[in-house]
Structure 1
Amino acid sequence: MQWQSVLEFIHRKLRTTNLYKEFNNKQNEHEVMALMMSNDIVGELLTLWLEKQCELKIEKCSKKAKSFKNEGNESFKKKNYPASVELYTTSAKYAIFDNDDYSISLANRSAALFHMGEYESCLEDIDVAFASNYPTELRPKLHLRAAQCWIKLYDASRADEQLTKAQNLITNDENITANDRENVMRNIGKLTMEINELLEQKVCKFPDVIKWSPEDLLPPNPTYSSASSVLTRDYSPTRGRYVKTKSAIKRGDVLYVEKPFAFVTLDHIVSNFICVHCCNHIANAGYPCRGCPHVLYCSKKCWSISWLSYHKWECVGYEMSIWKQIGIAHLALKVFFSSIETHDNTKFNEVQKLVTNIDKLSTDDLIIYSITARMLVQYLEVYTNILKTIDMKTCLIDKFMNEEFTISSDVSCHEGKKLFVGTLILRHMLQLIANGHAITRLNLTDAEGASVFEEQQQRVAVGIYPSVSMMNHSCDPNIMNTFWNDYLIVKAVRNIPAGGEIFNCYGPHFRRMGLKERQDALKNQYCFTCQCEPCTDPELQHFLDRFAALKCLNCDGPLTDVDMNSSKCLDCNLICTADVKNRADDLNNATTLFNLAQDCMQQGKNDEALDHLERCLKIRQKWLFKYHDELTINYDTLGKICVVMGQWCDSISYLETSILAVEEKFGLDSIEVANELNKITDICIQYLQRTPNGKSSSYRDIGKKTQRFLRRAEKIMSIIGGPWSEVYQEISNKGRELSGMLQSLRI
């Protein structure tokens, strides 16, 4: 039975008992959890569910590991190295850590990576194999491979170190056969000659890569961690805690660089390529967990640290498929683990002080959250050793700096420990409802078979950022959030005067969501009624209506309905009447044509698709306001089909028109405009690369136009992002590529 069904069943059962009434009088998380922990029936039902999940565990499997390893070996023999890397990774996922399967899979993968020229990745695989019980008698071969990598990287000293280690092993290990010893010595001789050649040629090794950290963007702030020194926190009865400036801020200034106190990846396919410890993208060689087949890491460092810090306690929960069923509660548990491990007492207390809104929650919500918290306590008690091994006083209680947030529990006894842990987990769950922050990455999607990609921000994880959480909400924020792995980097998108408040957007943005929808969403999740400018200014309250408006026949402005038969222009105020039936019939016909075009595109009938789209466009241009969303989509789709058909100039023209609407809706310096400029420059550069007549006027015009697009896109991204942004990097790379092309043609 799925967790949601169990939760609803227990909830219904409690509604018929006196316990339900008692919840109405509980003032804090400790009282709520004390009441929930006292109910034996709830405990029994949760025990049954956990036992069932344990029976259904998806565990490591030696049989599967060996099967995938053998498939990897076959691919390796065929020199299909990328396929063998993937198969060896899957083998390591299922391999049991305590025997040789795990380390051998990674050692085999290192060989494939070597042949692919991925020398740094090969070396890291070798390191992890050595740290994972790799058989002693096989180690000399790995040291030789490591030496080969260092030779390829022109590092004679490190290569020689590996040869020394290989020689020591074959000298001292009696399990190595005479034949193997002879082969290793022969290879040591060959590699020694290669090292000597390097030394004779005086070839310099590749310089060590200087590792950049986002924390370099801001100096430490002793009074407000992770924040710029120009920011300060304040309090008012109406606004609560809020953030303001000490001095004027310019747009593009970095305001925060914060690593999450804790985060969890979301359960979808993209998460298979995201490191669960640092949120880095996993390229071709992730490191599977030593305990479960569900988690991947990007590096040896993350693989090692995560196990020691927290994953040893959540590992079996992955096997039991608990975490993907309980939503934000998984992050609450991760916050609890981070609270145990952290040595940063300031950050610990910043988390404890985050609002819970417990006084604004319904009794039903409190019961549901506390049932989940109790389930997690029972999981920790039965399936981990955390309650037995962790000193709650040292690791948690002594870290509290404010008695207001301290939890009064007798942790010297087992039941007191459980109540203390449950109370903390419940607190974190309630905090995360209002303070959880989505972590996004750029996702590239193929545009209907064209060699052009569209950028979409996709949620890959959710984390808690206590310093950033101090900002209040506005539906028109003056900051922009970007990410470098799990680091949240916040920049100002407008000039802000001294004493001005810094506003974040909690999700509902006036350029993306209507007034009522925004107000309802904020009230339901964050328990307040927004009074920001877009919510109170009559001119902004219906901002999005313009992008769903019909066209004024007098001035071409946007119309808003007055009644069934008449509309008022938002620009010239003229009352317009129209033949409603003919208009509706025309627009329905346009929708039919657009859908037919989509079908034709999927079937490769490009000429028919283009005809349908052009006819659709004429109808929509007649009736719809020029920035109507359907017109924008129409222009964008025409741009795509023209790319597929090689009609580059037409595609560029359609997309330029589409960009005008995106600017109007999202703002001139928005990420949406930057993404559109990035897309159109892809098409421009393809035109420049594929057009043989580089001296034509159209070629020169598009070359100059592409330069303007790229300069503008780079300017936008320098304000709202930076060199860590994928879009910024793409644009910079294209700018260099274009400069080379145009210089060769003297344009």
Structure 2
Amino acid sequence: MHKSFLNEHTKFRDSLNTEDLDKFSNFFNDKDKIKYIYERLYNESIKIDIDESQQSRAIGKNGTKVLEIKKTGTKYFQKSDNIQALHWYSIAILYCPQVTNDWLKQLSILYANRSACLYHLKFYDLAIADIQRAFEHEYPNELRYKVYERKAKCLLATNRLKSALESFKATLQTLDDSNLSLEKRRKWQLDVQIMVAMLSQDKNAKKDVELKNNKDSHKLYGAPNDLYPAATNAMKIEYNSLEGRHARASRNIPVGKVILIEKAYASVLLQKYGHSHCTNCFNKLIAPLPCPGCSNVAFCDESCKEVAMKSYHAFECLMMPTLFSHEISISCLIALRIITQKPLKYFTSIEFYLNKLQESKLPSIKYEPNDYINLYSLVTHRESRSIHDILHRAHLATYFLWNLKKTNYFPKHDNENEFLTDDEAFIGSLILHHLELLQFNAFEVSEIQDSSGNDQHSIFIGGSVYPTLALLNHSCNPCVVRYHKGTSVIVQTIRELDVDDPITENYGPMFAFHTKDERQNTLKKRYWFECHCIACSQDWPLYNEMEMSRSLRIKCSNCKNAITISSESMDFTAKCNICFKSTNLFEDLKVLQKTESLFSEAKICMGNGDYLKALPILSSLLTLFHKHLVQPFKDYHLCQEAVKKCILALGNKQKRIIK
């Protein structure tokens, strides 16, 4: 889970005797467990010490380093290598101190330099944003004429003629402050005056063209569910003692339909992507914005930066280097993020309600994905946990709490290192609860890497928790695939669903690639349950075993069960062994002859990278298979894997910048 912290926990656990463990186990509530561990850690000096100098180094604002990196960026810019120049100027911006006016001025120059790279790479809006930041950070007056002209050219390129005219006029006004020679100034002035004259006579320069919103739009199939607004109304949530809360189709759902769109309740980005992706929305960065206090994270724009700085990052800015150094996993860090993204008073205001909350079966009010109560009510399996498991997680929660106390999250009090207030212990108990529920309800956030050819490679960039998605049970033969846009998750069907069919996703092992024993062992170890999906209960064959099979599983026209026939059979009727009725095979075999050409057509589209064109072809093919065949069947699962590949291509994608 977290090797470095695990070593610390082993020391702590070994310091406890049987009587200590019994005392810990007998505490009635988790607040008392947290207080007990805190007192033991501090009163007996077994605490984990933070190396303050290491923490300071990890924060990483470094003026000397910035000036060297800036030189590297300028060297590449002078060679017209704008991609490399953009990279190095961005790194310099992230490391630039923001504590004195001199450094803020240096930051303004870096923004202006980067705007030149962005302009040449045709990222005009990003260039305009950097120019504005340069002005906000007191960019030198004698240089402003250059960036005003650059801004005007960016506005021209995006057909915002009115604003371009204003920027050209500002260029003329600021030329007087420049250090240009009289001759150069006059030439520059003449060129700009020509542009001003041309735009002044252009009737289209009276207003700017409204920019189109290029954001992807994903629509739910049907209307939103009245009780579960993140899901379609074609999906219902039910409860029974064997399956717990689970999803089923309330009506027939075709292949490729979006049945759930949910924003993450909380997300944490992997440390290694801290400079390449926005820490708030996980979008791939072209021109990252820095945190004022550290160089560990970056943002895509001011809105994401504001959200982070006004909530979680205000507290985590100094904490995260220490936590990362202890190799604490992403799912555990999400347990902390759930706390830091809301103020203390939010949690204390609902403490009484949480204490009265019973184990949730089905909600009586709307199940909003952003409601903490719905997150809190996800399964923890506390009753199945050993005392050592609870002790481990309680110790980690206390460690998080100790770090959080060093920030301004809690009001300061006397002797605060020696004991916990009731509010502090309560927050510690919530972190413990989060650590337990996230073991079973956290999700990886992925991104498709841009690569040459038809190969797709998915990488893990962070983790999130989704209260509605968490209600879907596992199947080794899932009917949906999920992908991400930023930190939001989109779930689409990958096979036809009939009324009351279970809507399941996959927690890892798939029947086509792992034996039943392998799947069961993985699921029992990781998620603590025995799988009873159809692939397990019928012990479906692996893909390579299906590939060797020379039989067809035709769907009985009467009872819909499988009629197994040889692929070389010349018979046109077959009797079902379940209902004993005969099925005419002629239409089934005739349809199956067409599927090979359809699949070949779709594969050509995929080979050309045209996944949007391939998807409807493959979806229609799966519809045919659903009507005429019964799983498991090799061609069905080949087609299904292709559908998954097309759908995953709609998600987060790492794109190369083209020169």
Same fold (TM over 0.5): yes
Name the structure 2 match of 1:105: 110
- The one-letter amino acid paired with 1:425 is I
Aligned counterpart for 2:305 among listed residues 300, 303, 306: 303
Q: Work out whether residues 455 and 675 of structure 1, in 8 Å CA contact, stay in contact via their aligned partners in 2.
A: no
- The one-letter amino acid paired with 2:512 is R
Name the structure 1 match of 2:383: 359
In angstroms, what is the RMSD of aligned CA positions?
Answer: 4.3
For 2:262 and 2:613, locate their aligned partners in 1 and report how far apart those are by CA, in whole Å. Answer: 34
Change (3 A) 1:211 1:83: closer
- The one-letter amino acid paired with 1:435 is N
For 2:456 and 2:296, locate their aligned partners in 1 and report how far apart those are by CA, in whole Å. Answer: 28
For 1:61 and 1:105, locate their aligned partners in 2 and report how far apart those are by CA, in whole Å. Answer: 15
Name the structure 2 match of 1:373: 397
For 2:224 and 2:37, locate their aligned partners in 1 and report how far apart those are by CA, in whole Å. Answer: 43
- The one-letter amino acid paired with 2:436 is L
- The one-letter amino acid paired with 2:313 is H
SS in structure 1 at match of 2:109: helix
Name the structure 2 match of 1:244: 248
Change (3 A) 1:376 1:470: same
For 2:613 and 2:86, locate their aligned partners in 1 and report how far apart those are by CA, in whole Å. Answer: 42
Alpha-carbon shift at residue 15 of structure 1 (Å): 4.1
- The one-letter amino acid paired with 1:336 is I
Name the structure 1 match of 2:649: 726
Name the structure 2 match of 1:743: none
Map residues 169-568 of structure 1 onto 2, 5 A cutoff: 190-198=191-199, 200-202=201-203, 207-212=210-215, 214=217, 216-217=219-220, 220-268=224-272, 272-282=275-285, 284-320=286-322, 322=324, 325-327=327-329, 328-340=331-343, 347-382=371-406, 384-388=407-411, 415-445=421-451, 452-538=453-539, 540=540, 542-543=541-542, 546=545
Name the structure 1 match of 2:159: 154
For 1:432 and 1:675, locate their aligned partners in 2 and report how far apart those are by CA, in whole Å. Answer: 39
TM-score, normalised with respect to structure 1: 0.65
Change (3 A) 1:367 1:455: same
Change (3 A) 1:571 1:265: farther
Judging by fraction of residues, say which structure has more helix. 1
For 1:129 and 1:434, locate their aligned partners in 2 and report how far apart those are by CA, in whole Å. Answer: 46
- The one-letter amino acid paired with 1:256 is L
Q: Work out whether residues 481 and 493 of structure 2, in 8 Å CA contact, stay in contact via their aligned partners in 1.
A: yes
TM-score, normalised with respect to structure 2: 0.73
Alpha-carbon shift at residue 319 of structure 1 (Å): 3.7
- The one-letter amino acid paired with 2:236 is T
Alpha-carbon shift at residue 24 of structure 1 (Å): 3.3
- The one-letter amino acid paired with 1:546 is E
For 2:483 and 2:284, locate their aligned partners in 1 and report how far apart those are by CA, in whole Å. Answer: 15
SS in structure 1 at match of 2:310: helix
1:575-627 CA-partner distances (Å, limit 9, x unpaired) = xxxxxxxxxxxxxxxxxxxxxxxxxxxxxxxxxxxxxxxxxxxxxxxxxxxxx
Structure 1 residues not aligned, in runs of 5+? 390-412, 447-451, 558-569, 573-662, 686-705, 731-747
For 2:479 and 2:647, locate their aligned partners in 1 and report how far apart those are by CA, in whole Å. Answer: 21
1:290-312 CA-partner distances (Å, limit 9, x unpaired) = 32222222333323332223222
- The one-letter amino acid paired with 1:314 is E
Deviates more, 1:186-195 or 1:346-355: 186-195
Alpha-carbon shift at residue 206 of structure 1 (Å): 5.7
SS in structure 2 at match of 1:39: helix
SS in structure 2 at match of 1:275: coil
For 2:511 and 2:494, locate their aligned partners in 1 and report how far apart those are by CA, in whole Å. Answer: 16
- The one-letter amino acid paired with 2:241 is P
1:462-501 CA-partner distances (Å, limit 9, x unpaired) = 1001111111121111212122222211112223233333
Change (3 A) 1:230 1:709: closer
Name the structure 2 match of 1:122: 127
SS in structure 2 at match of 1:386: coil
Structure number with the bigger relative contact order (C-alpha 8 A, sep ≥ 6) is 2
Alpha-carbon shift at residue 36 of structure 1 (Å): 2.0
SS in structure 1 at match of 2:341: helix
For 1:473 and 1:46, locate their aligned partners in 2 and report how far apart those are by CA, in whole Å. Answer: 40
1:82 corresponds to 2:83: yes
1:172-221 CA-partner distances (Å, limit 9, x unpaired) = xxxx5786999889857643531442454556866512243546546554
Alpha-carbon shift at residue 117 of structure 1 (Å): 2.8
Q: Work out whether residues 478 and 504 of structure 1, in 8 Å CA contact, stay in contact via their aligned partners in 2.
A: yes
For 2:509 and 2:644, locate their aligned partners in 1 and report how far apart those are by CA, in whole Å. Answer: 21
Q: Work out whether residues 265 and 466 of structure 2, in 8 Å CA contact, stay in contact via their aligned partners in 1.
A: yes
- The one-letter amino acid paired with 2:33 is V
Change (3 A) 1:333 1:361: same
SS in structure 2 at match of 1:457: strand
- The one-letter amino acid paired with 2:159 is Y
Alpha-carbon shift at residue 11 of structure 1 (Å): 3.9
1:83-111 CA-partner distances (Å, limit 9, x unpaired) = 21111111112111232233321221111
Structure 2 residues not aligned, in runs of 5+? 348-367, 413-418, 553-563, 567-594, 621-638, 654-659
Map residues 639-654 of structure 1 onto 2, 5 A cutoff: none
For 1:710 and 1:469, locate their aligned partners in 2 and report how far apart those are by CA, in whole Å. Answer: 27
- The one-letter amino acid paired with 1:322 is F
For 2:236 and 2:337, locate their aligned partners in 1 and report how far apart those are by CA, in whole Å. Answer: 29
For 1:253 and 1:181, locate their aligned partners in 2 and report how far apart those are by CA, in whole Å. Answer: 66
Q: Work out whether residues 271 and 460 of structure 1, in 8 Å CA contact, stay in contact via their aligned partners in 2.
A: no
Change (3 A) 1:184 1:12: farther
For 1:42 and 1:442, locate their aligned partners in 2 and report how far apart those are by CA, in whole Å. Answer: 49
Change (3 A) 1:5 1:251: closer
SS in structure 2 at match of 1:356: coil
Q: Work out whether residues 114 and 122 of structure 1, in 8 Å CA contact, stay in contact via their aligned partners in 2.
A: yes
Deviates more, 1:292-301 or 1:64-73: 292-301
- The one-letter amino acid paired with 2:519 is R
Map residues 612-651 of structure 1 onto 2, 5 A cutoff: none
- The one-letter amino acid paired with 2:238 is D
Alpha-carbon shift at residue 56 of structure 1 (Å): 5.1
For 1:126 and 1:718, locate their aligned partners in 2 and report how far apart those are by CA, in whole Å. Answer: 46
SS in structure 2 at match of 1:355: coil
Sequence identity percentage: 22
